[in-house]
Amino acid sequence: MAARSLASLNLRPPSLVALHEAGYQTIQDLQNATAESLAQDTNLTIPVCGDILNLINKHRPSAHFVPPLSQSVSTLAESSKRVSTGCAALDSLLGGGLMPNIILEISGLPGCPKELLVCQMTKSYILSGSEVVYVDTSNALIPESLQTYLSDTPVENVSYLHINTLEQLFMFLHNISEFLNRHPKTDLLVLDSLSALFQRASPLSPANCLHLEERLRNIFSQITTVHRLAIVTTSTLATKVLNEDGSASSFSLGGRGVLTPALGSTYLPANKSWRISVVPKTQGQDGVLRVLSSPNGKRRSLPLAPYTLVFLSNLR
């Protein structure tokens, strides 16, 4: 039986929009949801979420289904557990580590230790007992280097894939739910050098680029919500000419050049995404991690944090 769309139910438009933005598309996507977990994902109130679940339960295909009224403390703790990124500075900015249902973008100039940070996260997740899907798009980290870095961990828990085009990326993401259903211990998806796919694509008009970013945002929302995993992307920095208010400009109109992530923020669901930039010191292992944006614009007490990383020769 085909999954029934939430749009077919008599839901209030604001509730339906909030559900879709959080990645919920069908009744089946909400089969394990509770009012508490749904409120956390959508920013709707718990009473409103309770009403949504009551309406949905009336339309479930099985008459024998008994919906969960609330989650146990252990279940809530498991669904919100944090995993260390392997970098104390990054952990401090994220409030203690990376959580399920969160997307983290790490950006920086070529040569900065983005890949090393991602390797540390991958290792940390494996040591916690999770599986990881690592997608490389630009040979920034070859499989042999990744395997060497993870040599003291169960490296078989990492699924490595190389993707060359945007078409391949969307085909992969279209089928990823089937893979994740077969590998329920997968808690982290890495998309390394995601911006490279857009840069290599044949010239994209602003409208086409925006459309593709919106598709990514919807897919990311659904994957993280349904499968309760974290997504980490990396991106280069690009110079953009902006006005003081952040709108696009030109030098002739008095705009100034600013280094920003090559991909716009459209591809990231605002309610569950972090954007962090790596600013290394010249020829050193030290630098600063800077928060560019956080979920729903929430500000942490540490908008930036100094880091020190130990480089390996095959990762530099």
H-state helical runs in the chain:
13-21, 35-42, 46-57, 73-79, 88-93, 114-127, 143-149, 166-182, 194-200, 206-227
**pLDDT at 63 (0 to 100):** 43
Residue 55, pLDDT above cutoff 90: no
Q: What percent of the chain has pLDDT over 90?
A: 37
What does the DSSP 8-state code read for residue 5?
B
Most confident range (mean pLDDT) of 15-29, 59-73, 299-313 is: 15-29
More confidently predicted of 206 and 72:
206
Residue type (1 letter), 306? P
Give dist(CA 246, CA 250) in Å, integer: 12
Using an 8 Å Cβ cutoff, are 185 and 131 in contact?
Answer: yes
Residue 313, pLDDT above cutoff 50: no
**pLDDT at 60 (0 to 100):** 66
Compute how many other C-beta atoms are within 10 angstroms of the C-beta atom of residue 26: 17
What does the DSSP 8-state code read for residue 249?
-
* Pairing between β-strand 230-242 and β-strand 256-261 as defined by DSSP bridges: antiparallel
Residue 85 in 3-state DSSP?
Answer: coil
The two counts, helices (H) then strands (E), for the chain are 10, 9
Using an 8 Å Cβ cutoff, are 60 and 23 in contact?
Answer: no
* Pairing between β-strand 256-261 and β-strand 304-308 as defined by DSSP bridges: unpaired
Residue 226, pLDDT above cutoff 70: yes
Give dist(CA 201, CA 199) in Å, integer: 6
Count CA within 13 A, CB hemisphere, residue 276: 34
**pLDDT at 100 (0 to 100):** 93
For residue 202, give both structure tokens.
Answer: 């044949």
